[in-house]
Amino acid sequence: MEAMLRGVGVSHGVAIGPVRHMGTAVLEPPATQIPSDEAPHEQARAQAAVDAVAADLIARGNLAGGEAQAVLEAQALMAQDPELMADVSRRITVGSSAERGIYDAFAAYRALLAAAGDYLAGRVADLDDVRNRIVARLLGVPMPGVPDSDEPYVLFAHDLAPADTALLDPTLVLGFVTEEGGPTSHSAILARALGVPAVVALPGATEVAEGTVVAVDGSSGEVLVDPAQEKQEELRQKAAERRAALAASSGPGRTSDGHRVPLLANIGGPADLPAALAAGAEGVGLFRTEFLFLDDSAQAPSEEKQYEAYRKVLEAFPESRVVVRVLDAGADKPLDFLTPADEPNPALGVRGLRTLLEHPEVLSGQLRALAKAAEGLPVHLEVMAPMVADRQDARAFAEACREAGLQAKFGAMVEIPSAALRARSILQEVEFVSLGTNDLAQYTFAADRQVGALARLQDPWQPALLDLIAVSAEAAQALGKSCGVCGEAASDPLLACVLAGLGVTSLSMGTASIPYVRTALAKYTLAQCRRAAAAARAADNAADARAAAHQVLSGE
């Protein structure tokens, strides 16, 4: 029976396909005693689950090939380790169920690995993954993590963290729907990077049955459950028409009277380059380098590995602007080797630049790799720091860049209200600022960006956020410096016009949004954008600000 659910649309487009749920973390199996005459049956169940998981890992390795194959084969070997299996069997003999026996035997093995020094300790995550797969199979619950599917699907999840999604096959994901997460959550960012529709903060998302066909409208936030065939056809038709209209948009970002607002791409690594180039990005406005660090959260990637990734990005945009953000670890992007495990409030703790100033070797390694990657290229490299709070932070970052011999412009992200209010003083130390409106909203409204119930406060149309953007843009303008926006605010076509009107000098966004923003900007003059900005700032809440800007622009 057709039903309609409504959340917050955060990435444009329509996706129609079957639901696949992101597997949740495996629960600890109950420690109930089983009668001794059931032990042989439990041992057989354990062995069958181990064999099935090992076979599945090998089959997936064969499909993936390369480095991934080696990793998956090593995991299959771990699963079948004879000593580990002997321990499972022993535990079942003394009363454990198959799942509990696996769980406890792996825990003992895990402790040994963790204590055995760097290399083996780094394998703990692989071991946990194998255990989770076996236990999930025995409990009959979905596999943890990314669904195993050969067919395209709409991914449903409670929420998505960057580490969860690193293994997603983008060719299979038609769209995202999450129960939690606001417009600035990583689910939203990732959806825009992949160019797939997404709806977040949808109550009841995790209860929609696996395999149900849904139609997701990433603009309106509507999710139709089990839509009739005719409705599916109608939605497909509309989506195709819209895509065709957008594909016709090209060229640099400018208002109808020629005021230039370069449209740049937000990327997480070289894999995002083809889409950025295809969308006509004029450069990169935010390279989130932490994605290079997520593969292995136990150590920093080598300078060589970083160099290779940076070089590919810089080569893809010769003679264009490429803004690289140094590592933003902590809070929602923790890294084992950097992020303190015991912070009472990680979003307000040691994250971003604070982490790098405590680990200067990580920062200098990154800056050296970047300097080397830019050698001999005509690219306009810019490097910026996340979570700059004040002038002292900006100075420390600029000094680290100079010490590394980096030939680039140095900049600061404005993500903390203090940095917006004192942008003028921060710009004494650096050459540009870039507004990270996702964190700026989080810290202005004291509203965790991961919490769907607070989506209202993370709305980038909030007039208080617009005021902070205006203050930053005015400070930059007074000093003849640039002030871009690289948070998700830039990807909303109407808001992009308002940002231009506030004096923002470039807009950087997930590449799928570039055609939408380009088309919107080209409709209005700079004077119209300024009037829309003034009307939005005069409103009392986000909905009224949006309506006021819309009225100004559509009425003129």
If the CB atoms of residues 10 and 136 are measured against ligand PEP, the closer one turns out to be 10
Tokens of 554: 């559509």
Question: Look-up: residue for tokens 């209005």?
Answer: 524
Helix (H, G, I), strand (E, B) or coil at 210: coil
Q: Which of 11, 96, 437, 505 binds ligand PEP (CB under 6 A)?
A: 437
Residues with Cβ within 8 Å of 80's Cβ and at least 6 positions away in sequence, in order, are: 50, 51, 54
Question: Look-up: residue for tokens 């300097």?
Answer: 371
If the CB atoms of residues 436 and 452 are measured against ligand PEP, the closer one turns out to be 436
If the CB atoms of residues 290 and 415 are measured against Mg ion, the closer one turns out to be 415
Residues 486-505 that bind ligand PEP (CB under 6 A): 486-487
Residue 101 beta carbon to ligand PEP: minimum distance, rounded to whole angstroms: 42
CB 146 within 8 A of CB 165: yes
Residue 221 sits in the site that holds Mg ion (CB under 5 A): no
Which residue number has the CB closest to Mg ion?
439
Q: Which of the residues 12, 21, 186, 529 is marked catalytic? A: 186
Question: Which amino acid does the sequence have at 19?
Answer: V
Instruction: Please confirm, yes or no, whether 186 is among the known catalytic residues.
Output: yes
- Return the closest-CA partner of residue 434 out of 322, 547, 332, 338: 322
Strands 3-6 and 222-225: antiparallel
If the CB atoms of residues 159 and 328 are measured against ligand PEP, the closer one turns out to be 328
Q: Which of the residues 401, 486, 497, 529 is marked catalytic? A: 486
- Distance CA(234)–CA(219), nearest Å, equals 16
- Distance CA(403)–CA(511), nearest Å, equals 33
Burial of 84 per CB tally in 10 Å (0-12, 13-18, 19+): buried
Stretch that binds ligand PEP, among 29-37, 144-152, 433-441, 495-503 (CB under 6 A): 433-441
Residue 161 beta carbon to ligand PEP: minimum distance, rounded to whole angstroms: 13
Residue 72 beta carbon to ligand PEP: minimum distance, rounded to whole angstroms: 30
Binding mask 238-277 for Mg ion (x = CB under 5 A): ----------------------------------------
Cα-flanking dihedrals φ and ψ of residue 298, to 5°?
-90, -15
- Distance CA(441)–CA(466), nearest Å, equals 10
Instruction: Please confirm, yes or no, whether 497 is among the known catalytic residues.
Output: no
Residues 327-366 that bind ligand PEP (CB under 6 A): 328
Quick one: DSSP state of residue 142?
P
Residue 448 sits in the site that holds ligand PEP (CB under 6 A): no
Question: Which amino acid does the sequence have at 243?
Answer: R
Residues 303-332 that bind ligand PEP (CB under 6 A): 328
Residue 284: beta bridge partners? 265, 322
If the CB atoms of residues 437 and 505 are measured against ligand PEP, the closer one turns out to be 437
Stretch that binds Mg ion, among 243-251, 389-397, 432-440, 455-463 (CB under 5 A): 432-440
Helix (H, G, I), strand (E, B) or coil at 23: strand
Residue 436 sits in the site that holds Mg ion (CB under 5 A): yes
Number of residues that bind ligand PEP (CB under 6 A): 11
Binding mask 31-50 for ligand PEP (x = CB under 6 A): --------------------
Binding mask 255-294 for ligand PEP (x = CB under 6 A): -------------------------------x-x------
- Distance CA(381)–CA(371), nearest Å, equals 9
Stretch that binds ligand PEP, among 34-42, 201-209, 432-440, 453-461 (CB under 6 A): 432-440
Helix (H, G, I), strand (E, B) or coil at 413: strand
Tokens of 334: 């923790």
Residues 392-421 that bind ligand PEP (CB under 6 A): 415
- Return the closest-CA partner of residue 49 out of 164, 143, 123, 174: 143
Q: Which of 382, 439, 448, 459 binds Mg ion (CB under 5 A)?
A: 439
Residue 70 beta carbon to ligand PEP: minimum distance, rounded to whole angstroms: 31
Residue 290 sits in the site that holds Mg ion (CB under 5 A): no
Binding mask 184-223 for ligand PEP (x = CB under 6 A): -----x----------------------------------
- Distance CA(520)–CA(503), nearest Å, equals 17
The entry of ligand PEP, Mg ion, none near residue 448 (CB within 5 to 8 angstroms by kind) is none
If the CB atoms of residues 263 and 286 are measured against ligand PEP, the closer one turns out to be 286
Tokens of 370: 């970047």
Question: Which amino acid does the sequence have at 8?
Answer: V
- Distance CA(175)–CA(197), nearest Å, equals 5
H or E segment to which residue 244 belongs: helix 229-247
If the CB atoms of residues 164 and 415 are measured against Mg ion, the closer one turns out to be 415
Stretch that binds ligand PEP, among 28-36, 334-342, 436-444, 532-540 (CB under 6 A): 436-444
The entry of Mg ion, ligand PEP, none near residue 486 (CB within 5 to 8 angstroms by kind) is ligand PEP
If the CB atoms of residues 87 and 328 are measured against ligand PEP, the closer one turns out to be 328
Taking each helix axis from N to C end, the angle separating 526-538 and 493-502, rounded to the nearest 10 degrees, works out to 100
Phi/psi-derived region of residue 541, left when phi > 0, alpha when psi is between -120 and 50, beta in every other case = beta
Stretch that binds ligand PEP, among 106-114, 435-443, 459-467, 535-543 (CB under 6 A): 435-443
- Distance CA(217)–CA(221), nearest Å, equals 6
H or E segment to which residue 230 belongs: helix 229-247
The DSSP string of 441-468 is HHHHTT--TT-GGGHHHH-TT-HHHHHH
Residue 332 beta carbon to ligand PEP: minimum distance, rounded to whole angstroms: 8
Residue 459 sits in the site that holds ligand PEP (CB under 6 A): no
Q: Using CB under 5 A as the criterion, which residues of the chain lie in contact with Mg ion when the complex forms?
A: 415, 436, 439
Q: Using CB under 6 A as the criterion, which residues of the chain lie in contact with ligand PEP when the complex forms?
A: 189, 286, 288, 328, 415, 436-439, 486-487
Q: Which residues are catalytic?
A: 186, 486
